[in-house]
Every structure is written in structure tokens, then in C-alpha cells.
């Protein structure tokens, strides 16, 4: 049972890193999921009308891979970001996402 508790705590910490890291970004809302190992943030549809185009742009310009919500039948501007990766990679990915959004913020 100790192993299960350790995994649950590790997932909760990774989830906190992602949600806290994305909190406050303009044009993005990232609610805290209740479980799992991914978040499902929503983009401002006016700035990012296609999550598929957003995912491609993020990969090409920031080196971060996410899954467009359109692949799951979502038309509300969500994308999936998995956090089941090593902490250092996760922190670097969040840093890159923040830099990506900040470089596209309109004054």
C-alpha cells in the first residue's frame, strides 16, 4: 500500500506543478483535474481558433508536444497535456509553454 500512496502523491505533485505553472497565462484556462495524469486546458478561441494549429505551433516553436482537443471530438478549444514524465522535463516543458504564451501576448 505504501507504493500506491507514493504514486498518488507523486501524481498530485506533478499535477500541482502543471496547474500552478500555467495559472495566470493570458488566453489559457487550466482547471485542476480530479485524477489521471494529464490536464485539459482550454485556449481562448479568439486567439487560438484551432487546437490542432496551436499544437503544431507549440511543437515547432517551443519543442513541446500536446494533443489537440479536436482529436477527442472537442470543439471548445481544449488540448491535452500529459504530466507523466520526469519532474525536470515537466518543469522545462512548463517553462517553454509560458515563454511561448508570453511571446504571443498582445499589448
Given the C-alpha cell 504571443, which residue does it identify? 104
Measured between alpha carbons, how far is 45 from 28 in angstroms, rounded to an integer? Answer: 10
pLDDT surpasses 60 at 107: no
Confidence bin at 41 (pLDDT 50/70/90): very high
Q: What is the pLDDT of residue 30?
A: 96
Confidence bin at 51 (pLDDT 50/70/90): very high
Supply the pTM of this predicted model: 0.91
- For the record, the C-alpha cell of 61 comes out as 516553436
Give the total number of structural domains in the chain: 1
Per-residue buried b or exposed e for 72-90, using 16+ beta carbons within 10 Å of the residue's own CB = eeeeebbbbbbbeeeeeeb
CATH number of the domain encompassing residue 36: 3.90.1150.10
pLDDT surpasses 80 at 49: yes
Query: What is the average pLDDT across 66-84?
Result: 92
CA distances from 14 to 30, 66, 70, 72 (A): 14, 16, 25, 23
Distance of CA 51 to the CA centre of its chain: 12
- Residue 28 structural domain: 2-103
Calculate what percentage of the chain has a pLDDT beyond 70.
97
pLDDT surpasses 70 at 1: no
Contact status, residue 18 vs residue 66, Cβ threshold 8 Å: no
Amino acid at each position: 500500500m505504501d507504493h500506491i500512496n507514493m504514486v498518488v502523491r507523486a501524481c498530485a505533485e506533478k499535477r500541482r506543478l502543471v496547474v500552478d505553472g500555467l495559472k495566470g497565462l493570458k488566453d489559457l484556462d487550466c482547471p485542476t483535474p480530479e485524477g489521471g495524469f494529464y490536464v485539459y486546458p482550454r485556449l481562448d478561441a479568439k486567439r487560438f481558433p484551432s487546437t490542432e494549429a496551436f499544437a503544431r505551433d507549440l511543437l515547432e516553436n517551443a519543442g513541446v508536444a500536446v494533443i489537440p482537443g479536436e482529436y477527442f471530438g472537442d470543439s471548445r478549444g481544449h488540448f491535452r497535456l500529459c504530466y507523466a514524465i520526469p519532474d525536470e522535463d515537466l518543469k522545462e516543458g512548463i517553462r517553454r509553454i509560458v515563454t511561448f504564451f508570453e511571446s504571443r501576448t498582445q499589448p
